[in-house]
Amino acid sequence: MTIDIIPTSAKLGAEIRGVDPATDIDPNTQKRLRAALADHSVLLIRGQSLAVDDQIRFAQCFGDLGAIADTLLGLGKRDYQPDEIPECVSVISNIKIDGKNIGGLGDGECFWHTDSGFAETPPSASVLHSVELPANGGNTAFLDMIDALDTLPADLRSRIEGHSIRHSQVYDSAGTKRPAYDEVSDITQAPGPEHPIIRTIPESGQQCLYLGRRLGAYIVGLPVEESEALLDALWEHTVQDHRIWSHKWGLGDTVIWDNRVTMHHRDPFDPADRRRLHKVQVAGERPR
């Protein structure tokens, strides 16, 4: 199979041409796709119809099949997810049928985050496929966390060396409290695992900033005020236009990203419009 890899003009991201994710991908092409993901952090395949079973099979080109957020949290399959959708697939949608949500995360903004940083072993990669799209909005932007670390001022880096962040499980990426969790008044007591702020990718030895998400984050061992100030400084440094690539979704697009070395966020869109995407995650390792 002949494939073309076309980098974006940004620090991350590349379009892949010549691959149909709905077909069996030969081992050599799988190897090239994994290498392209390692090189560019985010891959885009445009405009191809992809059934759920095909998406699950395609995701395994990048590693073992991973669990979705609710499973990683031990919450099981949500009632709103249609029965024909396997538990390893997240439905991301604002659509309601008979007044009942068919998916999660609605139509508002989803703040910068990595997927499932609140799990002991977060996914290494995510594969997201568009099924229905709004007329405007709902775009997804990606942020280069390798560059964020490489350009971190020396004094700021010295302050985070050896430190970990506790990644709160209380809120989702839209800032909504998960029903299974209570509000926490003392951020130092929020439930969630502790992961190093500077993360090393095992295959490459590459290091990156690993912030997870801002809401509910806490740098373990610091006074709350000091943790908040240091996190604010890290986020201010990190979220800069020059290390962002934004994707305007087309119908049938599939986007694959390395969840360890990127963050992403979604723009809001008109609640009257319908949006539905399916996401499959690739299993990862405990951050080190």
CATH class for the region spanning 4-282: alpha beta
Q: Which residue type does 82 have?
A: P
Residue 179, pLDDT above cutoff 80: no
Using 50, 70 and 90 to split pLDDT, how confident is the model at 171? confident
pLDDT for residue 181: 79
Average pLDDT score over residue span 216-245: 97
Using 50, 70 and 90 to split pLDDT, how confident is the model at 124? very high
State pLDDT tens for residues 20-50.
999 999 999 999 999 999 999 999 999 999 9
Instruction: Read off the tokens for 20.
Output: 């149909």
Rounded CA separation 219/196 (Å): 9
Residue 130, pLDDT above cutoff 90: yes
* Domain definitions of the chain by residue range: 4-282
Of the candidates 101, 40, 62, 18, the one whose C-alpha atom is nearest the C-alpha of residue 283 is: 62
Q: Which carries the bigger pLDDT value, residue 187 or residue 124?
A: 124
State pLDDT tens for residues 140-167.
999 999 999 999 999 999 999 999 999 9
**Maximum alpha-carbon separation in the chain:** 55
Rounded CA separation 135/275 (Å): 9
Rounded CA separation 269/212 (Å): 24
Helices (H), 190-251: 224-238
